[in-house]
């Protein structure tokens, strides 16, 4: 697809084509030559013949070429009529082009009316307007509005919208759109209508429409200026009892945004609609948020503790977009991180304030290390502000979102919380109601604080993960410790050479008693750099800082709180890692010490396998694990995270290439040895934390359930009947989905003879709860046993699975590729063949979902030559598929480059 900017820029020297697929470049941006003052949309909803009447009030901009045609985007639209100022146009006055409409010789000011027919019932892409499970729904970000009507479908065209919806009243009693409902009534023939008006200008990607028969939960919120806002959550019939947590989460988010950032909601009503068939997690459409049911529905019986947290976080995220994304939006899609990185940071801070800051920080960094670092090191590597794209949907990535959030977090680290808040205030004051760029955000931060962020801007333009190597030297006579820093960044596609980043490195020094000592910096090798408090500002390729009055044998604690999204290299001894694992006051670095300790053991075990030796590791690792498990001062959730061995995807990013069979064997060996040598300890802590009374959702109960699950996981590796019985009893007596799903997963992933019967019994019990069955599908798909591929092949025809439903695809196929490394990376290549077959079945149905699945092949060069050959072969198979979607083409072709 091409957007309207490319119609205007068709002569650009940068515009290229790959096998007929157009590449879009940030450097090609030009403002749209017309203002669309007002938009009026009238929908007559029908499954295969929805009629959309559109009226646009248009004025040519003063500096625009008056000979240029009016270019509007449009895909899969049947044009029924077109008129300017009520005069029908003949075919010589307009032309339909591949992905849009050009209107010739338009006046300076005019009203354009079009009538189109669309088919929501056959729209399986879940973009634009579609009919699913008997309800109408829209998804317009990034470029779905062009599937609804002819319009300049780009974020810098902002207009006020008025919308009229009519439909059969008994089938679609609720007719919803953005803004405030100003009119509704009955129509002859059993139909009714509603008219909605949004007083705020918005781009087309924020348009929303929903129509259906829902259950409705209502409440209200009084804002900080005394305005009462009506809150509404619409869900499928019979699901109302699972909405109360979402409603309370919304109220928390509204209050938090007022208290922390002084931001107040601006409409009279805030609506959420939960949809079962949805490509994304949720969508922040102005006043009418559309959510995947996964992030709305939650009750103790059906949702885990993680689900409860995720619902609260996503509710918060979409609400926070009202200011960081809606009131101030992005000029073009290259600036996506302007709204998404900023809003992810805001939802992370919100969740941390509701739960535990240390635990939340660890969870966020786990995503960066396991997924974003892999993206940075792969063929799809891109800066948080990309320079080009073929298909915009492919850039809704962990780099844009999560690394983008880390960049925002660094502003707060550099400027302090007050300075960051001042910068945001300036940003909103300057740009409310505008479509802006990342540069506008940086400038607001600079101007509000008198701070030079010129070098910091490189985080927006340079791809890849910076690597920071640190060494230390202690001068006993002067009682001085010198830390020497080196930063580098490996080449990424299109960027061979990287300039130094501005990296805030938070440091601490810990004495032999486990206490932090006061930092007294005395000299810097680079006069342009500085130390502020506990932050070393690393701005050069090489840099040193010396601290005075340092006692002997201190241990540096570096990159505390993960103060920058970098890979840190420091040659800690095994003894030092164990010391930090037991003593570091920074919870993130305490967790990190354990992760590095476990990783080092695993890679040593891999080397032992390469040499054909007997597998063994130092007993001090066992002692360190026991000491942390027994530390009663620690929260159970933190213990659970700290005692969890790094996953295969995280370990893969710590090495350039590795034998994955050895890696999986080494990881399993370490876990089993820790289980055997600490069996009684795991059992004791399991029994101590196991709660059999009434279900509670408080922090202490959540922590106990988390630690219980970790302890049971270790015990189950022993493959003893006593452990199986513990898991079976937990499953049978569980009064919450956290305990039940953990027990089910451990049983299904074990060698327990009756595990398939247990799985079937669980399915029969929960088959009417779609979100629970999605968990069941994922558990079945991630079973590491050799029968799994045959089993999940059969599940494709199971009543619980539907290829057109993104949640089902992610639960079964996505879980298999991302969380079952033993079977996906089978030496015989069956895992790769299975994925390629599913992509072939899916890409014509839903290009977005199939493209994300294709990304599982991106890191094929990390593996042994035989696996590389098998993955490459499947990528070539994918590229040879007929009429391949450009979403999949972009991922597969870049992977092979």
Catalytic residues: 318
Greatest CA span in the chain, whole angstroms? 95
| Distance from the first to the final alpha carbon of the chain | 23
Q: Which residues of 751-782 are buried (b: 16+ CB within 10 A; e: fewer)?
A: ebeebeebbeebbeebeebbbbbbbbbbbbbb
- The Cβ-side half-sphere exposure at 843, using a 13 Å CA radius, reads 24
Strand order in the sheet with 16-18: 16-18, 21-25, 388-389
3-state secondary structure 445-506: HHHHHCCCCCHHHHHHHCCCCCEEEEEEEEECCCCEEEEEEEEECCCECCECCCCCCCEEEE
- Tell me how far apart the alpha carbons of residues 51 and 328 are, in angstroms, rounded to a whole number: 32
- The Cβ-side half-sphere exposure at 537, using a 13 Å CA radius, reads 19
365, 562 Cβ separation under 8 angstroms: yes
Count CB-CB contacts under 10 A for residue 442. Answer: 20
∠ CA 822-827-831, nearest 5°, is: 60
If we measure between CA atoms, which residue out of 652, 658, 650 comes closest to residue 863?
658
777, 800 Cβ separation under 8 angstroms: yes
Instruction: Please report the DSSP string for 138-150 in residue order.
Output: EE-TTTTGGGTSS
Query: Which segments of 635-775 are extended strands (E)?
Result: none
If we measure between CA atoms, which residue out of 413, 254, 431, 217 comes closest to residue 338?
431
- Tell me how far apart the alpha carbons of residues 744 and 765 are, in angstroms, rounded to a whole number: 13
317, 344 Cβ separation under 8 angstroms: yes
Please enumerate in sequence order all residues whose Cβ is within 8 A of that of 293, keeping only pairs 6 or more positions apart, or say none: 235, 236, 239, 274, 275, 276, 278, 770, 771, 807
**3-state class (DSSP) for residue 571:** coil
- Tell me how far apart the alpha carbons of residues 308 and 174 are, in angstroms, rounded to a whole number: 27
Strand partners, 510: 516, 555
The secondary structure element, H or E, covering residue 395 is: none
Please report, for residues 113, 416, 553, 618, 805, the alpha-carbon distance to residue 441 in angstroms, rounded to integers and kept in the order given: 37, 16, 44, 50, 37
Q: Which residues of 829-846 are buried (b: 16+ CB within 10 A; e: fewer)?
A: bbbbbbbbebbbebbbeb
- Tell me how far apart the alpha carbons of residues 177 and 39 are, in angstroms, rounded to a whole number: 13
3-state secondary structure 583-646: HCCCHHHHHHHHHHHHHHHHHHHHHHHHCCCCCCCCHHHHHHHHHHHCCCCCCHHHHHHHCCCC
- The Cβ-side half-sphere exposure at 379, using a 13 Å CA radius, reads 18
312, 295 Cβ separation under 8 angstroms: no
Instruction: Please report the DSSP string for 500-528 in residue order.
Output: PP-EEEEEEEE-TTS-BPPP-EEEES-TT
Q: Residue 439, preceding bond cis, omega within 30 degrees?
A: no
- Tell me how far apart the alpha carbons of residues 58 and 36 are, in angstroms, rounded to a whole number: 5
- Tell me how far apart the alpha carbons of residues 56 and 62 are, in angstroms, rounded to a whole number: 19
- Tell me how far apart the alpha carbons of residues 791 and 820 are, in angstroms, rounded to a whole number: 14
Please report, for residues 298, 572, 593, 773, the alpha-carbon distance to residue 776 in angstroms, rounded to integers and kept in the order given: 16, 42, 34, 5
Strand 282-283 relative to strand 542-547, pairing: unpaired
């Amino acid at each position: 697809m091409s957007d309207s900017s490319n119609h205007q820029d068709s002569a650009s020297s940068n515009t290229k084509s790959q096998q007929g697929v157009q590449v879009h470049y940030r450097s090609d941006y030009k403002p749209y030559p017309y203002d669309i003052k007002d938009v009026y949309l009238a929908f007559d909803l029908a499954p295969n013949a929805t009629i959309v009447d559109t009226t646009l009030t248009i004025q040519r901009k003063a500096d625009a070429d008056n000979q240029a045609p009016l270019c509007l985007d449009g895909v899969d639209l049947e044009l029924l009529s077109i008129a300017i100022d009520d005069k029908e146009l003949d075919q010589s006055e307009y032309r339909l082009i591949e992905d849009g409409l050009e209107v010739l010789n338009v006046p300076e000011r005019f009203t354009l009316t079009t009538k189109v027919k669309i088919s929501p019932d056959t729209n399986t892409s879940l973009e634009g307007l579609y009919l699913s499970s008997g309800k109408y729904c829209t998804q317009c970000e990034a470029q779905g509005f062009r599937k609804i009507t002819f319009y300049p479908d780009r974020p810098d065209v902002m207009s006020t919208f008025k919308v009229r919806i009519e439909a059969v009243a008994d089938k679609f009693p609720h007719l919803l759109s953005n803004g405030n409902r100003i009119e509704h009534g009955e129509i002859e023939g059993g139909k009714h209508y509603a008219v909605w008006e949004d007083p705020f200008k918005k781009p087309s990607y924020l348009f929303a429409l929903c129509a259906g028969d829902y259950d409705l939960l209502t409440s209200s919120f009084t804002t900080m200026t005394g305005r009462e806002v009506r809150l509404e959550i619409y869900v499928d019939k019979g699901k109302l009892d699972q909405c109360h947590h979402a409603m309370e989460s919304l109220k928390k988010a509204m209050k938090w945004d007022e208290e922390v950032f002084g931001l107040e909601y601006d409409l009279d009503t805030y609506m959420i609609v939960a949809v079962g068939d949805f490509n994304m997690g949720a969508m922040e459409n102005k006043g009418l948020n559309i959510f995947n049911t996964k992030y709305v529905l939650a009750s103790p019986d059906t949702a885990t503790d993680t689900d409860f947290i995720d619902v609260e976080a996503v509710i918060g995220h979409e609400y926070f977009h009202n200011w960081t994304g809606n009131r101030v939006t992005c000029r073009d899609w290259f600036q996506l991180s302007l709204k998404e990185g900023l809003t992810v940071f805001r939802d992370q801070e919100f969740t941390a304030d509701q739960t535990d800051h240390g635990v939340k920080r660890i969870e966020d960094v786990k995503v960066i290390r396991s997924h974003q670092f892999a993206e940075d090191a792969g063929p799809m590597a891109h800066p948080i502000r990309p320079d080009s794209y073929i298909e915009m949907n492919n850039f809704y990535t962990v780099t844009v979102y999560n690394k983008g959030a880390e960049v925002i977090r660094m502003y707060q680290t550099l400027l302090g919380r007050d300075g960051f808040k001042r910068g945001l205030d300036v940003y909103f004051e300057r740009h409310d109601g505008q479509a802006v760029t990342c540069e506008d955000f940086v400038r607001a931060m600079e101007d509000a604080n008198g701070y030079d962020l010129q070098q910091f801007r490189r985080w927006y333009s340079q791809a890849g993960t910076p690597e920071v190597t640190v060494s230390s030297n202690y001068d006993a006579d002067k009682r001085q410790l010198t830390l020497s820093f080196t930063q580098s960044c490996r080449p990424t596609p299109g960027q061979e050479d990287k300039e130094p980043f501005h990296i805030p490195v938070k440091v601490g020094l810990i004495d032999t008693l486990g206490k932090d000592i006061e930092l007294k910096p005395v000299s810097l090798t680079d006069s342009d750099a500085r130390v502020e408090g506990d932050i070393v500002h690393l701005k050069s390729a090489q840099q040193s800082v010396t601290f005075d009055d340092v006692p002997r044998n201190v241990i540096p604690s570096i990159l505390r709180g993960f103060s920058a999204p970098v890979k840190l290299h420091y040659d800690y001894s095994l003894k030092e890692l164990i010391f930090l694992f037991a003593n570091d006051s920074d919870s993130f670095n305490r967790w990190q010490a354990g992760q590095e300790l476990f990783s080092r053991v695993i890679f040593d075990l891999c080397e032992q396998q390469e040499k054909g030796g007997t597998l063994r590791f130092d007993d001090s690792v066992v002692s360190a694990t026991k000491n942390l498990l027994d530390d009663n001062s620690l929260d159970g959730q933190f213990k659970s995270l700290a005692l969890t061995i790094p996953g295969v995807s995280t370990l893969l990013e710590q090495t350039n290439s590795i034998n994955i069979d050895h890696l999986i064997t080494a990881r399993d060996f370490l876990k089993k040895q820790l289980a055997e040598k600490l069996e009684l300890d795991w059992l004791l802590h399991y029994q101590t934390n196991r709660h059999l009374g009434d279900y509670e959702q408080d922090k202490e109960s959540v922590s106990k359930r988390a630690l219980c699950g970790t302890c049971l996981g270790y015990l189950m590796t022993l493959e003893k009947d006593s452990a199986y019985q513990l898991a079976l009893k937990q499953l049978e007596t569980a009064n919450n989905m956290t305990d039940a799903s953990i027990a089910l997963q451990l049983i299904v992933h074990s060698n327990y003879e009756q595990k398939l019967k247990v799985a079937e019994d669980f399915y029969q019990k929960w088959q009417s709860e779609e979100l629970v069955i999605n968990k069941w599908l994922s558990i079945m798909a991630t079973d590491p046993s050799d029968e799994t591929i045959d089993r999940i092949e059969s599940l494709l025809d199971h009543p619980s699975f539907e290829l057109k439903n993104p949640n089902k695809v992610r639960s079964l196929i996505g879980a298999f590729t991302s969380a079952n490394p033993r079977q996906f990376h089978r030496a015989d290549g069956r895992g790769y063949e299975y994925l390629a077959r599913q992509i072939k079945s899916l890409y014509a149905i839903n290009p977005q979902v199939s493209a994300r699945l294709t990304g599982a092949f991106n890191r094929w060069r990390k593996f042994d030559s035989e696996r590389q050959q098998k993955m490459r072969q499947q990528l070539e198979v994918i590229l040879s598929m007929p009429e391949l979607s450009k979403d999949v083409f972009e991922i597969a072709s870049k992977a092979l480059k």
